Amino acid sequence: MSTAERRVLLVEDDPMHAELIKRAFEDDPAIIITVAHRLDEAIAALRRGLPDMVLADLRLPDGRGIELCQARDYPIVIMTSQGSEADAVEAMRAGALDYIVKSEVMFDDMPHVVDRALREWRLQLAHERANRQLQTQYEIASALATSTTLQEAAPRILESICRCVGWPVGELWRFDESAEVLHRKAFFSLDPALRTLEDVPHRFARGEGLPGRTWEAGQPLSVTYPADAPGERARPALGELGLYCGYGFPVHTSDGRTFALFTFYAPSIHTADVDIERLMSTVSAQLDVFAERQRGEEERRRLQAELVERERLAAVGETAATLAHEIGNPLNSMYMHTQLLQRRLRRMANVDPSITEGVALLLSENLRLGSLLQDFRSLSRRGSLRLAPVDLGRLLEQLLALQQPLLGSSSIEMLRELPPGLPTVVGDEGKLRQVFMNLVKNAIEAMPRGGRLSIIARVEDGRIIVEVTDTGVGIPEGVDVFEPFKTTKAAGTGLGLSVARQVITSLGGSLGCESELGVGTTFRVVLPIGTEADAQLDA
Ligand code: ADP
Ligand code: MG
């Protein structure tokens, strides 16, 4: 059957009229006319298959032609011999596309009537489809506008698409790029009987099943079951549920990355339908805009957090300056007096050892407070740096030599790679020593059962990079060790790293870390190479 063929069901009880109408189409082989003489005959014919249009007499022996208008699955033109206005109105109300009064002239003109009706019907369908699509786009836009995550909006999006195109089941998948798997984030079914599909796999690997295959293809994909989808064995229920077709649609960002995908299942799917492709592309664009907005929102939140962090640091700095002043002096005098006490005690005989111990403790606690105060002072923005060229290689050698005895006692092996003749950086030597001291101390403290500490320096792109690596406990994901007061140590201050980062950043460098829980941690200091001339410029 060629596509140009048009099947017309003619419902006419008058054999004469039927004959005349058929004769009017004699010259047009594309029009295939089937005649039904009664309403029940017409209904039976419609059950066997829908025609392209119906031409029905208003008055039939067993009823009225307009009863055929209800289905609205085909265009229908009503004919009558009388031609009363009331009949016309009734026919049009019932959903007839046109209404004609039978006459010799009219019969001759029948090809035009049919042609006009078919054209009109096509327009109507297109119009309805366009409306439905607009409605769907509107629904999706509303769902996205009132949701904060794609996941939250997904069930409504799926429902809109399913209702628009008449597919009974829809799913949305997101990627877990690192694990190379797809996770189902939302499921929708028009029919409760299809909910059983919700239980079957939530995860698909690349290339596996319709989701995985759509991922691999990177473009819309349609499959029929079971013939061309052996990978679908993961979903054996599909055929049993009468779903013989699947349609996968990847959602791309404007720069071509796939970040989600849809799958739909239906008894049949006509993917050649340009409307569906157009609808899905629009949905894809809508989701991309949404994702873009979300990324913007994330960035905004990150910046805001950074701002809060900076403000907090500044506030700490203010307090630090005052604290250092108010507490620093009395602390100093306490220290001096305790030291004096200790000296006197040494010269005395028969001193109770608990007194000597108590005084030693006073001194060490005093020292600890002093170094906490020192950290506080470093956080203060006002603390000015004394800039001069610093020989990092020498600084590190000295510092590590001091740590050597400590390493031996805690069975930590040290690896040192400090190339000779390392260029200088411009910085405050005291503060830089404090930074590296802190990193080394942290590394040692992270290896209570021993391990390896390595300090490796190298020159790269006009910068010196120093990596302090340990094989210690590691840092849990999501923990920001640079946040002030973040400490896991009983006697820690949690200020070491925030001070260190501040010092390094103020010298135009950066301090970052990489860690794996239970494996170890690397802190990386990057500083620009700088000489006396740079120091003069900075001062
Ligand atoms: P403190 O050492 O006083 O706790 P820091 O700012 O130096 O303060 O470090 C903050 C926290 O970061 C530590 O308490 C620890 O939990 C974590 N940390 C720092 N360095 C390491 C490391 N090398 N390995 C594991 N955790 C570390
Ligand atoms: Mg520390």
| pLDDT tens per residue, range 104-140 | 888 888 999 999 999 999 888 888 888 888 889 899 9
pLDDT above 50 (res 2) = no
| Nearest ligand by distance to the CA of 497 | 1
pLDDT confidence bin for 1, thresholds 50/70/90: very low
The residues spanned by each domain of the chain are 6-128, 147-272, 299-380, 388-538
Ligand 1, atom nearest to 495 Cα: 6
| Nearest ligand by distance to the CA of 488 | 1
110-145 and 274-347 helices, crossing angle to 10°: 10
At the topology level of CATH, where does 299-380 sit?
Helix Hairpins (1.10.287)
- Rounded to the nearest angstrom, the distance between the alpha carbon of 431 and the centre of ligand 1 is 18
User: What lines the ligand 1 site, CB under 6 Å?
Assistant: 438, 442-443, 446, 470, 472-475, 481, 486-489, 492-497, 521
User: Which one of 3.40.430.10, 3.40.50.880, 3.40.50.2300, 1.10.10.10 gives the CATH number of domain 6-128?
Assistant: 3.40.50.2300
Which pLDDT score, from 0 to 100, does residue 223 have?
83
| Nearest ligand by distance to the CA of 500 | 1
- Rounded to the nearest angstrom, the distance between the alpha carbon of 437 and the centre of ligand 2 is 9
Distances (CA, A) of 10 to 13, 21, 24, 41: 10, 9, 13, 11
Same fold, 147-272 and 388-538: no
pLDDT above 50 (res 216) = yes
In a mutational test of the pocket of ligand 1, which residue from 379, 439, 442, 498 has the highest number of ligand atoms less than 8 Å from its CB?
442
Rounded CA gap, 134 and 463, in Å? Answer: 57
| Nearest ligand by distance to the CA of 474 | 1
Mean pLDDT value across residues 37-64: 93
Residue 522 burial (CB count, 10 A) = 16
Per-residue pLDDT tens for 265-307?
888 776 556 678 888 888 888 888 888 888 888 888 888 877 7
SS3 515: strand
In a mutational test of the pocket of ligand 1, which residue from 441, 477, 497, 517 has the highest number of ligand atoms less than 8 Å from its CB?
497
Per-residue pLDDT tens for 441-456?
999 999 999 999 999 9
Which pLDDT score, from 0 to 100, does residue 536 have?
63
At the topology level of CATH, where does 388-538 sit?
Heat Shock Protein 90 (3.30.565)
Mean pLDDT value across residues 45-58: 92
Of 7-21, 144-158, 315-329, the range with the lowest mean pLDDT is 315-329
- Rounded to the nearest angstrom, the distance between the alpha carbon of 26 and the centre of ligand 2 is 98
Per-residue pLDDT tens for 486-516?
889 887 888 889 889 988 988 889 999 999 9
pTM of the predicted structure, to 2 decimals: 0.50
Element (H, E) at 323: helix 274-347
Ligand 1, atom nearest to 438 Cα: 7
Superfamily of domain 147-272: GAF domain (3.30.450.40)
pLDDT confidence bin for 383, thresholds 50/70/90: low
Residue 5 burial (CB count, 10 A) = 11
Please return the burial class of 274, using the count of CB atoms within 10 Å of its CB with bins 0-12, 13-18 and 19+.
exposed
In a mutational test of the pocket of ligand 1, which residue from 452, 477, 487 has the highest number of ligand atoms less than 8 Å from its CB?
487
Rounded CA gap, 66 and 57, in Å? Answer: 8
- Rounded to the nearest angstrom, the distance between the alpha carbon of 494 and the centre of ligand 1 is 7
169 DSSP β-pair partners: 189, 265
- Rounded to the nearest angstrom, the distance between the alpha carbon of 439 and the centre of ligand 1 is 8
